[in-house]
Amino acid sequence: MKLEKFLAQLTEAPGVSGYEGQMGDLVGQAFSPYVDEVRKDNLQNLIALKKGSGKNCPSIMLAAHMDEIGLMVLKIEEKGFLRVTSVGGVDERTLLSQEVTVHGKKPIIGIIGAKPPHLQQPDERTKSIKMHDLYVDCGFSEEKIKELVRVGDLITINREFTQLHKSKAAAKAMDDRAGVALILETLKELQYLKHSIDVYGVATVQEEVGTRGAFTSTYGIMPDIGIAIDVGHGHMPGILNKEDTMEMGEGSGIGLGPHVHPKIRKKLTELADELKIAYQIEPSPSPRGTDAYAMQITRSGVPTALISIPLRYMHTSVETLDLEDIKSAARLLANFIARIDHEFVEGLKCF
Amino acid sequence: MKDLIKRITEVFGPSGQESKVVELIKAELEGHVDEMYVDIMGNLIAHKKGPGKKIMFSAHMDEIGFMVTHIEKEGYLRFTNIGGHRPWTLKGLRVIFDNGVIGNIDCHSDTKPNELNYDKLFIDIGAKDKAEAESMVKIGDSCGFYNSTLANGQRMIGNSMDDRIGCVILIEAAQQVKSSPNDIYYVFSVQEEVGLRGAKTSAYRIHPDMGVALDVTPTGDTPEGAKLNVKLGDGTAIKVKDASVIAHPLVKNFMIDVAEKNNIKYQLEVLTAGGTDAGAIHLTKEGIPSGTISIPCRYVHSPSEMVDLNDVKACVELVKGMVAIDIAQILD
């Protein structure tokens, strides 16, 4: 499937943390022509295996999370308004006046309403609205909505995948379906390359609530190398320190920080230079934000690296990126995989 | 059941010091399970053997408390917290140590409520000076709230309902379940209040096919209360989410089905913070489908936690209903 089409399909479908079942099915269908096995584990991580040509060969795990942030029904108020809480780090300022789908007994359209400016107190006008003051209005009476919706039902924002100028695109849940798409592109590239190592493409669950799926999937696979693929902050107006962000369209970021094994990073950057693949160095000092954190400290430890796709407006419904950054990083990863041998893997065992 | 609740909530057992609770539970379960053992961390594991897959229930024995950090020359004890307290609510409360020494928490009378933190509070055990205090308690000794547990009709009030009430539910269920298609582990875990520590190691050892925590959950039914769905007296609460776990859809739906088929009064719970043993169990090894049965409880982490006996009985029925069904059917 073409990158644009796959990404449109993934980002428009719901898959809030803890409820990635349908998303896993979509990913499994897309991966299956390029891999030898597809399975789901206990927590619904989608695990695809493309076998290497070697015997007793090492393995690499590519992990990108397929869950998205979202909302959950907290309480059904009188007159049928739904109070909500967030699943993952939703920016509450961006929720006002969004159209949403409430995933009840059947999908129901709703909107997020709030008090109009005319009726606000002076101090309310200068403050952003808080999650506990927002509500979803589906138009149903209290009695009717209680037949269709229960506490704990999920809510996602309705947003079509939109292509902007040239290769740029905006959608909800690019974080981290773009990473899942990068794995698919890598698997496609690997069709034309010979690789001796086993390649696990894993679409992980529950990253947005604490890299939970990466912990359990890594435990099950126990790879020799782990590469987390996630989105990183792209540059946009209002960012004071340009160094904190990456430029969209200038290649994906190769992470640099305590959760990145220096020998893997070195090989990735050297290979990118050799193949003239654009990349950026992304300083990544905080260790807990991506699946790399979980992969690195599972069992006796996994040598881990991080690839970051530059993306603007993270955790909004208009997450924007450049598709070329996905394609170039896939080429880099595929070639990296093709060049890994026993010797390189042995070298990683001694930091 | 009232008698058991009173006895178990009045036993001393801050995190890391759960052995008196272990003794009480062991005595209650004698003859009702196939084996009981205490593991390295101090978790009490009661095993009721069955032919099928393993289901692990976990209720924590530990309670929140305090630990002595320093003894002043006048004999007053400075202390830190074990688990989550709101320091400004502690003034005037009584505490008890493992050896029976009783004290009360107070502060200088000029201290403003918004300044009340551990550095302003002390425990007075009635010692006349440091030497006498040291003969009664030592630095590193723990204490817990000291209260009588009371019944007010169907409502019971006392400290350590969190989570001895969960232990009561497992004891009652274990006493009533004579056979099951499942291999049942009733775990009475340690050190939940300091980070789900006992559940983590017990789940690793047992490696169950399904995990179920039993713990209290705050309610939204008090004046100016939080926007929470759960009400005291509205039945057992089936957790959808808290900060530690998103209940596995299979397990959550299993609980709902059992409640509906057995006419057990239940409510759905979404908690915006907090965590239970399920948070540790579900991330064990390759992952374990897990959920939580919550007991509605007002004033959680205060000396007067309030539960409703009808809710407690509904939780017992839910546990019994779950173990009556072969979980292999649910997990496939």
Looking up residue A124, the CATH number of its domain turns out to be 2.40.30.40
Taken as a whole, chain B contains a residue count of 332
| Mean pLDDT, residues A305-316 | 96
Is there a single domain that holds both residue A128 and residue A202? no
Residue with tokens 């290769």: A167
| Mean pLDDT, residues A21-32 | 98
Contact B227 A75 (CB under 8 A): yes
Task: Decide if A14 contacts A154 (C-beta within 8 A).
Answer: yes
pLDDT at A34: 98
Task: Decide if A168 contacts A323 (C-beta within 8 A).
Answer: yes
Segment 199-228 of chain A within 8 Å of chain B by CB:
206, 209, 212-213, 215-217, 219-220
Q: How far apart are CA B274 and CA B246, in angstroms?
A: 12
What is the percent of chain A where pLDDT is above 70? Answer: 100
Query: pLDDT per residue over A216-274, tens digit each?
Result: 999 999 999 999 999 999 999 988 887 789 999 999 999 999 999 999 999 999 999 99
pLDDT of A349 > 90? The answer is no
Is there a single domain that holds both residue A61 and residue A75? no
Question: Which chain B residues have a beta carbon less than 8 Å from that of A42?
Answer: 286-289
Domain that holds residue A104: 71-157
Say yes or no: B278 contacts chain A, CB-CB below 8 A: no
Say yes or no: B219 contacts chain A, CB-CB below 8 A: no
pLDDT at A125: 86
B116: distance to nearest CA of chain A, Å? 28
Is there a single domain that holds both residue A340 and residue A218? yes
Sequence ranges of the domains in chain B: 2-63+159-331, 65-145
Name the strands in the sheet holding B155-158, side by side, starting at the edge strand that comes first in the sequence. Answer: B150-152, B155-158, B305-308
Give how many domains chain A has, as a whole number. 2
Asked, for residue A166, whether it belongs to a domain, the answer is no
Q: How far apart are CA A97 and CA A102, in angstroms?
A: 15
- At A182, which helix (H) or strand (E)? helix A174-190
Among residues A286, A343, A285, A27, the alpha carbon closest in space to that of A176 is found at A27
Asked, for residue A19, whether it belongs to a domain, the answer is yes
Task: Decide if B231 contacts B177 (C-beta within 8 A).
Answer: no
Whether B192 is a known active-site residue: answer: yes
Is there a single domain that holds both residue A234 and residue A143? no
Question: Within chain B, which residues score under 50 in pLDDT?
Answer: none
Inter-CA distances, B280 with A207, A258, B249, Å:
16, 25, 17
| Mean pLDDT, residues A322-349 | 96
Binning chain B into helix, strand and coil, the percentages to the nearest 5 are: 30, 30, 40
Q: How far apart are CA A209 and CA A207, in angstroms?
A: 5
pLDDT of A12 > 90? The answer is yes
pLDDT at A287: 67
Task: Decide if A309 contacts A321 (C-beta within 8 A).
Answer: yes
End-to-end CA distance of chain B, in Å?
36
Asked, for residue A164, whether it belongs to a domain, the answer is no
Task: Please name the CATH architecture into which domain B2-63+159-331 falls.
Answer: 3-Layer(aba) Sandwich (3.40)
Question: Which chain A residues have a beta carbon less than 8 Å from that of B268?
Answer: 150-152
Asked, for residue A163, whether it belongs to a domain, the answer is no
Binning chain A into helix, strand and coil, the percentages to the nearest 5 are: 35, 30, 40
CATH class of the domain comprising B65-145:
mainly beta
Query: pLDDT per residue over B213-264, tens digit each?
Result: 999 999 999 999 888 999 999 999 999 999 999 999 999 999 999 999 999 9
- What ipTM did this prediction achieve? 0.92
**Looking at this protein, which amino acid is placed at residue A137?**
D
Specify the pairing of strand A304-312 against strand B236-241: unpaired
Backbone angles phi, psi at A25, to 5 degrees: -65, -45
Asked, for residue A254, whether it belongs to a domain, the answer is yes
A18: distance to nearest CA of chain B, Å? 6
Query: pLDDT per residue over B309-329, tens digit each?
Result: 999 999 999 999 999 999 999
Among residues A133, A134, A132, A137, the alpha carbon closest in space to that of A80 is found at A137
